[in-house]
Amino acid sequence: MFSVTVRDHMMIAHSFRGEVFGPAQQLHGATFVVDATFRRESLDADNIVIDIGRAAEQLHAVLADLNYRNLDDEPAFSGTNTTTEALAQVVADRLAARVLAGDLGETALGLAGIAVTLGESHVAWASYERPL
């Protein structure tokens, strides 16, 4: 199995509902360093998993829809906690939709799966992985 990973980041505000979150129930924020991994059983004719430049562009585009926002105000997240693990799924699913729409090129249609890790600090991170 092969994989290629590209890294980018986003800076958002949000708050959580639920006693388990303690002081994080207040409006605060986070930088998420985002690693998007694309998996594939074998390489294509160019000897690549995916066009790394295009992967970086598409990840950047997905994050641009979240970056510099207060996620509490985003209709897409109404009534949900935008935890690190939940946002990892959001980014992975949006990337998957772009892959399936052909935005990452024809080669990307042969991908086996996507994994996304969001680092919220030097001591905590969360991941979500899914097939394609």
By the rule CB under 8 A, 104 interacts with a second copy: no
The reply on whether position 96 binds a second copy by CB under 8 A is: no
How far apart CA 10 and CA 59 sit, in angstroms, is 11
Minimum CB–partner distance for residue 31 and a second copy (Å)? 4
CA 127, 132, 93, 2 torsion: positive or negative?
positive
Whole-number Å distance between alpha carbons of 88 and 84: 6
1 belongs to the binding site for a second copy (CB under 8 A) = yes
Unique residue bearing structure tokens 């890790």: 117
Residues in contact with a second copy by the rule CB under 8 A: 1-9, 11-14, 16, 18, 20-24, 26-33, 43, 46-49, 51-53, 56, 67-70, 80-86, 88-89, 105, 120-130
